């Protein structure tokens, strides 16, 4: 997975200059992307946990959204956007390498989740969902205030 990890890190490190006119825009942007990530990840969870019937097409569609919008979310943690209407801890910027590593892990698992969803096999989805969920929780535990 080293190659993917480097690709993901490169994508996350892409210049974000002029993407947000002000810090609040970056905050709103990442919160929007997180909200969509959560909504579609939740739909996958409902299938993985048997609360709704497994639908292979819907699973693949949802996983595709998760992979894309979770990537977008990480582009919103721009320098200077740690203050304001945000639950992001100062560690996002203070321990930037650790945060980037956690983000990179989530992106790897999101890519695996998409691949798993595309197999059309519920067991694959369940396994990948669990692994991805761990990376979400890990980052929230360490970098998001209660």
Instruction: Pick the binder of a second copy from 5, 32, 124, 142 (CB under 8 A).
Output: 32
- Per DSSP (E only), the strands in 3-106 are none
In whole angstroms, give the CA distance from residue 63 to residue 85: 28
CA contacts within 13 A on the Cβ side of 99: 20
CA distances 113 to 26, 68, 142, Å, are 27, 12, 22
For tokens 């990376």, the residue is: 135
Residue 47 tokens, joined: 């299938």
Instruction: Pick the binder of a second copy from 48, 63, 69, 103 (CB under 8 A).
Output: 69
Residue 22 tokens, joined: 């002000």
Q: Per DSSP, what are the bridge partners of residue 88?
A: 144
Under the criterion CB under 8 A, does residue 125 sit at the interface with a second copy? no
Under the criterion CB under 8 A, does residue 4 sit at the interface with a second copy? no
Smaller CB distance to a second copy: residue 69 or 92?
69
Instruction: Pick the binder of a second copy from 28, 98, 100, 118 (CB under 8 A).
Output: 28
Under the criterion CB under 8 A, does residue 133 sit at the interface with a second copy? no
Under the criterion CB under 8 A, does residue 117 sit at the interface with a second copy? no
Under the criterion CB under 8 A, does residue 74 sit at the interface with a second copy? no
Instruction: Pick the binder of a second copy from 6, 10, 13, 39 (CB under 8 A).
Output: 39
Residue 72 tokens, joined: 């977008």
Can you give the binding site for a second copy, defined by CB under 8 A?
18-20, 25, 28-29, 31-33, 35-36, 39, 43, 46, 52, 65, 68-69, 72
């Amino acid at each position: 997975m080293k190659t993917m990890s480097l690709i993901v890190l490169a994508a996350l490190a892409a210049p974000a200059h002029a993407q947000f006119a002000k810090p609040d825009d970056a905050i709103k942007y990442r919160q929007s992307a997180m909200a969509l990530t959560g909504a579609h990840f939740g739909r996958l969870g409902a299938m993985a946990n048997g609360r709704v019937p497994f639908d292979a097409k819907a699973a693949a569609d949802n996983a595709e959204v998760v992979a894309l919008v979770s990537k977008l979310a990480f582009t919103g943690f721009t320098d200077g956007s740690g203050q304001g209407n945000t639950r992001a801890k100062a560690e996002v910027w203070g321990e930037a390498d650790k945060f980037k590593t956690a983000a990179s892990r989530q992106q790897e698992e999101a890519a695996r989740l998409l691949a798993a969803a595309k197999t059309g096999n519920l067991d694959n989805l369940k396994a990948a969902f669990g692994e991805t969920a761990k990376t979400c929780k890990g980052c929230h535990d360490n970098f998001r205030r209660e």
